[in-house]
Amino acid sequence: MVTTGFSNLYRQQYISQMASQQFDLLVIGGGITGCGIALDAALRGMKVALIEKSDFASGTSSRSTKLIHGGLRYLKQLEFKLVRDVGSERAVVHRNARHVVIPEKMLLPIVEGGSLGKLPTSLGLLVYDLLAGVKAEERRKMLDRHETYKAEPLLNTNGLLGGGLYFEYRTDDSRLVIELAKSAYANGALLLNYAQSTKFIYDSTGKVTGATVTDHNSGNSFDIRAKVIVNACGPWVDLLRKEDNSLKGKRLQLTKGVHLVFPYEKLPLKQAAYFDVGDGRMIFAIPRDNITYVGTTDTVYNESIDSPNCTKADADYLLKAINHMFPSAGLQLNDIQSTWAGLRPLIHEDGKSASELSRKDEIMVSSSGLISIAGGKLTGYRLMAEKIVDLAEKKLGRKHTPSTTKNYRLSGGEFKDEDDFTNSLKQFLAQGEKLGIAPQVVSRWFYRYGKNVQQLFEIYLSQSKHANATELTETQYGVKHEMVHTLSDFTIRRTGNVFFNYPATKSQLPFIATAITSLLNLPEEAKTQQLSRASSEFEMVVAFKH
């Protein structure tokens, strides 16, 4: 069906194709949930279209704690099934996208008066490992007080009783989403960013048969017809249910979660830590490249869904927690380099506080046939997609074809096993050296693009004389193969540079804006607009400081 690359260069062709046929499945929302559904359905031979009102992963799916985890804390809430399902899924997500899902050692300090005692923690971590089917060599290790302090010398020794070491996986949420989107595209799905569903179309019996879509690039509208329509709009799910006149029964309760980013030297942790805050909640501190990020908060949210931000109160809460656990760091407001804030699309439960609400996913089918899905976790995206596509098959009256995503390697993640992964990195480093590309750059590319680094090398060959050859190569790859349309798409969601390397990124913005707009043949004013929009977005993430 698709005849061109995954790029906004072919936007008009995508729109013509979307407007001129009836799809089996229309997915609204390009976060992890929507892109996961699009891939599963495309692999089962369905004709699939997906629209995203902004950029892929611009909602919650670029604003998480970036862990593929079973949710140790859900054990405290006795959610054994959730821990088992999502916990065992970690290994699957890792195996299918090794370049963006990496094992991460976690330290769980046990402190006097904390919510975790030594014995319950030891048992809890063991149950966690067993429920999740963790390999023997990766199972939890309990540490005494001295060993814990040795593992993390920045820890507050006051009241420190010991600790536990266990494994989770770290990811880059928005890169995981884009690899899913690329994989869905490679299997015949049509996906478009900056395309918003504004109205549903119904037949004479009241069944939903399509959606009117606004193309935010041109301002024009077009219709997409489909036999089954899925609302995978995360925090926006209820807005679409309202539009469908089906906002009855279960409703969303949004809660906000904020993360703070510090330069690594301000909080130089030896490994990630997961610790008690003192109010019954727990937070993560995760070192990564040149930074350490800390999060998260969990507060009921009733403001604008489009622009959740870190407030001074959020920052103060996290600073207090981190300074209590790592007092020698003495972190202050001005040490915060960047932040991100995301909204959890949870299902409202009477009488429960934000952090007590279940993270389970929920599927709602309206009388018009609209399927809505909300809740869940990044980690369980594949299982959620499987359920939705099974349901879509039934609605389509098709014979059941089992999902094949369990063993499907995502774009860039086509490694046979761990050895292949390690050897591929070595080969790319050797190839990069011959091309004159610094090993740090090759390694960074490898953990972003996996096997697709080969395509970046090919682009680099035509750029190598340029002063900013590596940046230009990456930008070109983003525009030509990853649907980059704006400066923020590239600097936030394709590379994470704004979150993880804000000071250096700031100076590169004009150059990258020029590259993107000229590659997409956009007029000069588009560059100015993109720059000013990106600057205000970046300023917003640290606005609470002023």
Instruction: List residues binding ligand FAD (CB under 6 A).
Output: 28-34, 51-54, 58-61, 63-67, 69, 196-197, 232-236, 240, 257, 296, 342-345, 376-379
CB 401 → ligand FAD: shortest distance, Å?
24
Count CB atoms within 10 A of the CB of residue 510.
12
Nearer to ligand FAD, 379 or 501 (CB): 379
Give the residue with the Cβ less far from ligand FAD, 110 or 378: 378
Closest approach of Cβ 420 to ligand FAD, in Å? 26
Which C-beta is closer to ligand FAD: that of 67 or that of 484?
67
Angle between helices 381-396 and 32-43 (to 10 degrees): 50
Of 322 and 453, the one with the shorter C-beta distance to ligand FAD is 322
Q: Which is nearer to ligand FAD, 234 or 412 (CB)?
A: 234
Alpha-carbon distance 84 to 119, whole Å?
Answer: 21
- Least separation, in Å, of the C-beta of 22 and ligand FAD? 19
CB of 540 to ligand FAD, least distance (A): 17
**Which helix (H) or strand (E) segment is 516 a member of?**
helix 502-519
Asked if omega into 296 is within 30° of 0 (cis), the reply is yes
Residue in the structure block whose two tokens are 């490249």: 289
b vs e for 154-166, b when ≥16 Cβ sit within 10 Å of the residue's Cβ? bbbeeebbbbbbb
CB of 544 to ligand FAD, least distance (A): 16
CB 437 within 8 A of CB 459: no
Distance CA 438, CA 436 (A): 6
Nearer to ligand FAD, 8 or 197 (CB): 197
Measured from the CB of residue 4, what is the shortest distance to ligand FAD in angstroms?
Answer: 22
Report, in Å, the least distance between residue 410 CB and ligand FAD. Answer: 16
Q: Which two tokens stand for residue 222?
A: 């077009």
Tell me whether residue 316 or residue 458 sits nearer to ligand FAD (CB atom): 316
Residue carrying the six token digits 């003495």: 330
**How far apart are CB 53 and ligand FAD at their closest, in Å?**
4
Query: How far is it, in rounded angstroms, from Cα 149 to Cα 31?
Result: 39
Q: Which is nearer to ligand FAD, 162 or 342 (CB)?
A: 342
What is the chain's alpha carbon radius of gyration, rounded to the nearest angstrom? 23
Do 381 and 36 touch, CB atoms closer than 8 A? yes
Smallest Cα–Cα separation from 299: which of 366, 242, 355, 347? 355
